[in-house]
Structures are given as C-alpha cells and as structure tokens.
Amino acid sequence: MSQYIARLGWRSPAAPPRLRLHRRPRRVAMLSVHTSPLHQPGTGDAGGMNVYIVELAQRLAAINIEVEIFTRATAAALPPTVDLAPGVLVRHVDAGPYEGLAKEELPAQLCAFTHGVMQAWADHRPGYYDLVHSHYWLSGHVGWLAAQRWGVPLVHAMHTMAKVKNANLADGDTPEPAARVIGETQIVAAADRLIANTAEEADELVRHYEAERDKVAVVHPGVNLSRFRPADGRAAARARLGLPQDALIPLFAGRIQPLKAPDVLLRAVAVLLGERPELRSRICVPVVGGPSGSGLAKPEGLQKLAARLGIADVVRFCPPVGQEQLADWFRAASVLVMPSYSESFGLVAIEAQAAGTPVLAASVGGLPVAVRDGDTGFLVQGHDPRAYARVLRDFADAPHLVDRMGEAAARHARFFGWDRAAAATADVYTAATQAHRPHVRSHHG
C-alpha cells in the first residue's frame, strides 16, 4: 500500500487517507451534441465519431463503467431514453427544431441542450455522475459547465480541430469560423484531461491551443474485430454484392464532402484509364456514402464529375450502409482509397485493414499511424490524382499485392481492438479524477 501511495505522489505520512477517491468512475455522462450514436454513419454529420462513441461506451460498460450518452433529439417520435446496450443509456435532449438544423446553427442551441442535461441530473441524487466525457467542441462547452456545476472532472476529445482543418482546406471548402477556434481554446484550458487519437494530434493541441502537455493522453481509436475481419474472403464478398470477380475495385467509403476528397479518386481513375484504356473492362469504383457538410450544397456533384471525366460507366454510387454490410464492401474491395485533406485518425482505414484490405491514403493527420506505408497500404503526399493513379496501376499490374498487403493489414489491425482503447480511456478517467480532487479541495478550503 505504501508503494501505491508513493506512486500517487502522497509523500507526507500525515496526508489524510483519501485513496478511495482515486478510483475509476462508476458512471460517466458522455456528451455528443451534434451527432447521435444511433444515427447511420456515412451520411449527414454521422461518421467515425458515431462509431467511436458507440463502441467505446459498450466496452466501458463491459468493464463496469456505466455510460449515459446525451445527444440532441432529431425527431419528435424519439423516446426520451434508449437502452443501447447493458450499462449504456442514450438520452435524447430537446434543443431546437428536430430537423433541418445545420451543424453551424447548433451553437445557438447549446443553452437549451445544457438545460436538458441539467434537468436529467436534477432527477438524481448528488454525485450521480462521477465524470463528464465530451466529444467535439460543441459538446465541450456543455461539458465544461456541467462538470463545474457537478464538481466532477471533465475529459474532452476534440476529434477534429478548427485550426488544423483550416490549414488543410480542400478547394471550395468552407473555413471553420473564428467562434469555433475561440470555443476550442476555452475547452482546452478548462478540461482536466484531453484525449488525442495520435501523438501528432497531441502535438497539435499543444502547438495550436497551448494545451498543457501533461493533460493530454494519446488513446488510439479501436476497431470492432469481431465485425471487421477477413471472414470468408474477397470472392464471397464480391458474389454477395454483385461485383465482378476479377476486377480492380478501388473503394471510397465515407461522407461525400470536399474534406474527404472522393473527387481525387475519380480523377485518378480517369488518369489511369487514359493511360491504360484496356483496364476499363475490369475496373469497378464503388462510392459508398452520402453527401455531408459543404458537400450538401452540390449533392449530385460527384456524379456529374464522373460523367464529365468519362468514367460514369465504371463508377457505382451506393447509399450509406450498416456496419455489417460495410465490412462486406471492405472485403470485396481491392483497396480502400482515402485521399482526405484532414483526418484526426481515419477509422475506416483500420476497419478496412481488419477486413483484410490494403489502404491507399493521403499522408495526413492520423493516417500514417493507421496505415503502415509499403506494408499494409500506401501513403501519398498531397492530392495529385496522378500519384494515386500510379498506385492503382501497381495494384492492377500485380494482383498478388492485394492479398499480400491485405494479410499484413489484418495483422496490423489486431493491435487496434476497442477493448484496449476502453482500458486506456478508463486510465485517463482515473488520472483525471486524481488530478481533480486536490483542485476541488483547494476551492473549498
């Protein structure tokens, strides 16, 4: 026991025995204002963060940390609460009109959302929530107030950062507003702990937002290894999806918006077919996802681009699909293509690799952590379609590359299980609780 006390920095023998406070929290209020964990990823504002919250919450519950997820109600018919899994409750908070509210309009609804969170809390005994974990800057503002009001620690995950996005804007994309930059700076200062997806994101928090280095913890997101796995192989997945068996299939899966750069894949395919017209009969390019963000302004933009490039006959547009079918799309593909301008991690890169498929990605954000260049896929500097076309040509000319890299990809992805991510997150919660207690005592004499 004395060694345990020493590790925690309790040097004085006269220190009061407060060790019972240095435990993992029993119940966490998790905040996700702008996107519900119940929404279908790949459309609207639903994406990797939805998957992250659902999987993390379920794994935390499995290690006896109950999670209540507060999210904005987006339909009148939604029940106030939904049991997502044992130990995971989703609470729908009324804040603004149910439908037709863009993410950019949500800051005006944070007061109403906070009110709903406080109402839920008022129904419980004091000390009901042990910690607040907020996701994305909008939730961070609610979390800041809630944590202060309840006297509990605040753990915050940015997921994306305005300053980083604005430094890597796609052509025609809209910069993030100054209000978001200010809001993120305030949250960084207020949080007891910040969770970054990668070491690079941790550095960005320190560099751009003056985060205290010892308050930032790196926790890699995970992948559901029981869902995303090679299973019965590429041929069977292609048969199920009605895809040609011998084709080169470069897949785009995600939200259709300039940030994700699906246009780069289409331009790369046009370059490839310009150089190698004989490949046209054995290439199929699925685009699985729906318009999102600034892509909503031109929902048909990508289809029109395919027609203009003269490749509409080889591109197949598919609406967003559930996780089980998404795993089949990954298995069926020769390579997942992610030419994004900015990615805090890029969950789909790990999901595709777990399913046994290599990844061709832009060398941005967390993608160099998710993809081992030359082993589980290829990383490209920049967004020149010709660079992507060169890699696609290599896959077309050496079909064995797909299998060899796919096997390495599946092995690599096994290090990214959600159980590991949940255990690391629980450690961050414990550290935040320990750091918070002296702070609370100093405020109350």
Query: pLDDT (tens digit, 9 = 90+) per residue, 293-328?
Result: 655 556 588 999 999 999 999 999 998 888 899 999
- pLDDT > 80? residue 29: yes
Q: At what angle do helices 347-354 and 400-413 cross, to 10 degrees?
A: 110
Going from the C-alpha of 262 to that of each of 37, 45, 288, 351, 381, the distances in angstroms are 25, 17, 10, 18, 16
How far is residue 41's CA from residue 20's CA, in Å, rounded to a whole number? 40
Phi, psi angle pair for 338, to nearest 5°: -130, 85
Could you give the maximum distance between any two Cα atoms of the chain, in Å?
81
180 is in an annotated binding site: yes
415 is in an annotated binding site: no
- In the structure, what pLDDT confidence band is assigned to residue 14 with cuts at 50, 70 and 90? very low
Q: Which three-class secondary structure string do you get for 251-289? A: EEECCECHHHCHHHHHHHHHHHHHHCHHHHHHECEEEEC
How far is residue 290's CA from residue 395's CA, in Å, rounded to a whole number? 27
Both tokens of residue 291?
A: 């318009």
41 is in an annotated binding site: yes
Average pLDDT, the chain: 88
298 is in an annotated binding site: no
276 is in an annotated binding site: no
- pLDDT > 80? residue 48: no
160 is in an annotated binding site: yes
Q: Which residue has the higher pLDDT, 17 or 192?
A: 192
351 is in an annotated binding site: yes
Both tokens of residue 36?
A: 């519900």
330 is in an annotated binding site: yes
Dihedral angle sign, alpha carbons of residues 117, 219, 348, 104: positive
- Looking at residue 409, its pLDDT comes to 98
Average pLDDT, stretch 321-342?
Answer: 94
- In the structure, what pLDDT confidence band is assigned to residue 6 with cuts at 50, 70 and 90? very low
How far is residue 410's CA from residue 425's CA, in Å, rounded to a whole number? 24
260 is in an annotated binding site: yes
SS3 label, residue 28: strand
Dihedral angle sign, alpha carbons of residues 415, 421, 426, 432: positive
- Looking at residue 383, its pLDDT comes to 95
Average pLDDT, stretch 122-150?
Answer: 95
| Residue 24: HSE in the Cβ half-sphere, 13 Å Cα cutoff | 16
Average pLDDT, stretch 52-57?
Answer: 93
- In the structure, what pLDDT confidence band is assigned to residue 18 with cuts at 50, 70 and 90? very low
DSSP letter at 373 equals B
132 is in an annotated binding site: no
As a whole-number percent, the residues of the chain with pLDDT over 70 amount to 89
47 is in an annotated binding site: yes
Distance of CA 317 to the CA centre of its chain: 23
How far is residue 441's CA from residue 445's CA, in Å, rounded to a whole number? 6
Q: Where are the alpha helices (DSSP H) in 192-343?
A: 199-209, 234-241, 262-275, 301-308, 323-332
Both tokens of residue 329?
A: 């799309």
- pLDDT > 60? residue 287: yes
- Looking at residue 45, its pLDDT comes to 56
- Looking at residue 438, its pLDDT comes to 52
Average pLDDT, stretch 180-201?
Answer: 95
Q: Please check whether residue 77 is in contact with residue 99, taking contact to mean a CB–CB distance below 8 angstroms.
A: no
Both tokens of residue 391?
A: 């890699």
- Looking at residue 298, its pLDDT comes to 63
> Given the DSSP bridges, would you call strands 81-85 and 88-93 parallel, antiparallel or unpaired?
antiparallel
Residues 6+ positions from 208 with CB-CB distance below 8 Å: 161, 163, 164
Average pLDDT, stretch 396-419?
Answer: 95
Q: Which residue has the higher pLDDT, 175 or 427?
A: 427
- Looking at residue 206, its pLDDT comes to 97
185 is in an annotated binding site: no
- Looking at residue 348, its pLDDT comes to 92
How far is residue 75's CA from residue 63's CA, in Å, rounded to a whole number? 32
201 is in an annotated binding site: no
168 is in an annotated binding site: no
Angle 112-210-343 from CA coordinates, rounded to 5°:
70
- Looking at residue 46, its pLDDT comes to 58
- In the structure, what pLDDT confidence band is assigned to residue 44 with cuts at 50, 70 and 90? low
Of 117-121, 160-164, 389-393, 416-420, give the range with the top mean pLDDT.
389-393
- Looking at residue 292, its pLDDT comes to 62
198 is in an annotated binding site: no
246: left (phi over 0), alpha (psi -120 to 50) or beta: alpha
- Position of tokens 């992610």? 338
- In the structure, what pLDDT confidence band is assigned to residue 148 with cuts at 50, 70 and 90? very high
As a whole-number percent, the residues of the chain with pLDDT over 90 amount to 69
pLDDT tens, position by position, 225-242: 999 999 999 999 999 999
105 is in an annotated binding site: no
136 is in an annotated binding site: yes
DSSP string computed for 130-188: -EEEEEHHHHHHHHHHHHHHHT--EEEE-SS-HHHHHHTPPTTPPPPPHHHHHHHHHHH
- pLDDT > 50? residue 16: no
- pLDDT > 90? residue 69: yes
Phi, psi angle pair for 32, to nearest 5°: -140, 85
- Looking at residue 99, its pLDDT comes to 79
pLDDT tens, position by position, 352-369: 999 999 999 999 988 999
Q: Which residue has the higher pLDDT, 47 or 220?
A: 220
How far is residue 25's CA from residue 150's CA, in Å, rounded to a whole number? 14
321 is in an annotated binding site: yes
